[in-house]
């Protein structure tokens, strides 16, 4: 029986350890690398010979979606499976667009997670069914890249002048992008627009 080599990427050591312990119980799965940062994934996968990378979304360095895109580009034979607490439809769409082969949430039972790993390794796509339905019903991300960038900067509660400095735009242009994003999200304020966009996985 072929052993499938796995890389785990999660910034929480406890979660990584628990996942590794669960997956190592499977006779055909072996965890060969663990990292706590998204920007360490490609090098660790390359040096360990990992065949499937299990990636959390929110990590320092690079988020899991950007890491999946990098794996897809740099290591075309290696598959990525997003395993996250953040089951947001927008994240699912972005992950698939980035080249991830699967997307499951962390409360997936161990046997189902192991099966998802095997299916992804076999070249199949595995998507959490509830998220797949939500993704279809929530529609595409209506925000432009610039609106997304400005809203992300607004999450911290920064002033328009501060945001303008961060994204290298004039204050007036930032106000226009915020106004447009508020309209598209149906929010009353920029803080609410940023929160809605984040909940839907658009930023």
For the whole model, what pTM was predicted?
Answer: 0.70
Cα distance from N-terminal residue to C-terminal residue, the chain: 42
Mean pLDDT of all residues in the chain? 90
For the stretch 102-155, pLDDT in tens is 999 888 888 999 999 999 999 999 988 777 766 665 667 788 889 989 999 998
H-only helix segments in the chain: 13-24, 41-48, 64-74, 89-97, 110-121, 129-138, 145-154, 160-167, 171-185, 190-199
Domains and CATH numbers, the chain: 4-137 (3.40.50.2300), 145-199 (1.10.10.10)
Q: Which range is most confident: 127-131, 186-190, 197-201?
A: 186-190
Q: What pLDDT is recorded for position 85?
A: 83
pLDDT(194) > 70: yes
Q: Is the dihedral of CA 135, 138, 140, 141 positive or negative?
A: negative
Q: Is residue 90 over pLDDT 90? A: no
Q: Report the pLDDT value the prediction gives residue 57, as an integer from 0 to 100.
A: 92
Whether 164 has a pLDDT exceeding 80, the answer reads yes
**pLDDT single digits (tens) 27-58:** 999 999 999 999 999 999 999 999 999 999 99
Confidence category of residue 63, pLDDT binned at 50, 70, 90: very high
pLDDT tens track for 50-60: 999 999 999 99
pLDDT of 105 reads: 86
Give the rounded distance of the alpha carbon of 87 from its chain centre.
9
- Residue 159: CB partners within 8 Å, gap ≥ 6? none
Cα dihedral sign for 185, 189, 190, 192? negative
| pLDDT for residue 137 | 59
Quote the pLDDT of residue 188. Answer: 84
Q: What single string gives the DSSP state of each residue in 53-84?
A: EEE-SS-SSS-HHHHHHHHHHH-TT-EEEEEE
Task: Please tell me the distance from the alpha carbon of residue 118 to that of residue 19, in angstroms, as a whole number.
Answer: 15
Residue 145 CA to residue 174 CA, distance in Å, equals: 13
């Amino acid at each position: 029986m072929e052993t499938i080599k796995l890389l785990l990427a999660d910034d929480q050591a406890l979660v990584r350890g628990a996942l590794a312990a669960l997956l190592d119980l499977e006779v055909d799965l072996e965890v060969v690398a663990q990292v706590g940062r998204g920007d360490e994934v490609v090098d660790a996968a390359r040096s360990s010979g990992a065949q499937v990378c299990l990636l959390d979304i929110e990590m320092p360095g690079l988020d899991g979606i950007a890491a999946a895109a990098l794996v897809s580009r740099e290591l075309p034979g290696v598959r990525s499976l997003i395993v996250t607490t953040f089951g947001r439809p927008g994240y699912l769409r972005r992950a698939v667009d980035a080249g991830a082969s699967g997307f499951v949430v962390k409360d997936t039972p161990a046997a189902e997670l192991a099966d998802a790993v095997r299916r992804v390794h076999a070249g199949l796509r595995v998507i959490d069914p509830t998220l797949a339905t939500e993704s279809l019903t929530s529609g595409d991300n209506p925000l432009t890249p610039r609106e997304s960038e400005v809203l992300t900067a607004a999450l911290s509660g920064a002033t328009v002048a501060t945001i303008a400095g961060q994204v290298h735009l004039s204050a007036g242009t930032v106000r226009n992008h915020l106004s447009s994003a508020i309209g598209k999200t149906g929010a009353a304020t920029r803080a609410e627009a940023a929160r809605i966009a984040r909940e839907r996985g658009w930023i």
